[in-house]
Amino acid sequence: MNHTSSEIEQPPDWTAGLEGTWKSDWPLTKQHLEADCNLSAEATLGLERLLGKMTVQYDGHRAIYTMPEIRYIKAGEEYILAGWTREEPLHVLGRTSTQLALLTKAVAPPVDKDYLTLLTFENADTCWLYLGYSPLVGLHVREYFRRTGLQ
């Protein structure tokens, strides 16, 4: 049977709907860590302190990253990581229907060079990025994000 191009169903383009607010999802990230990574309990605890907290708002022309203040106790001492917000232009280098390549700008040491951020979409409201590409984290893990709202 001959099919015309209009009869063949195209896969959904999940990367077209990036606009809105996305929040790091610790339960999904932890599920990946337990299933696919061989991390020590200490490394997992360290990631739990940092992941699942950041939000990213995309508006088509820029990305606004917000990390709240993080307080935790380690070896009986309290540590406080200051919260921050950073805005940068959104530079899309390329895309497929399930992946979006972004150029992330250097901010200050230790991130003193621009780098690639590759978002992989599992559906229209869930994506992950591979932290192994980040200059901050040398671990080969994924951080999952879920859409929390449209702009």
In this predicted model, what pLDDT tens digit does every residue of 53-97 receive, in sequence order? 999 999 878 999 999 999 988 889 999 999 999 898 888 899 999
Q: Report pTM.
A: 0.82
CB within 8 Å of 18: residues ≥ 6 apart: 58, 60, 100, 119
Output phi, psi for 131, to 5 deg.
Answer: -75, -10
Q: 3: pLDDT confidence band, cut at 50, 70 and 90?
A: low
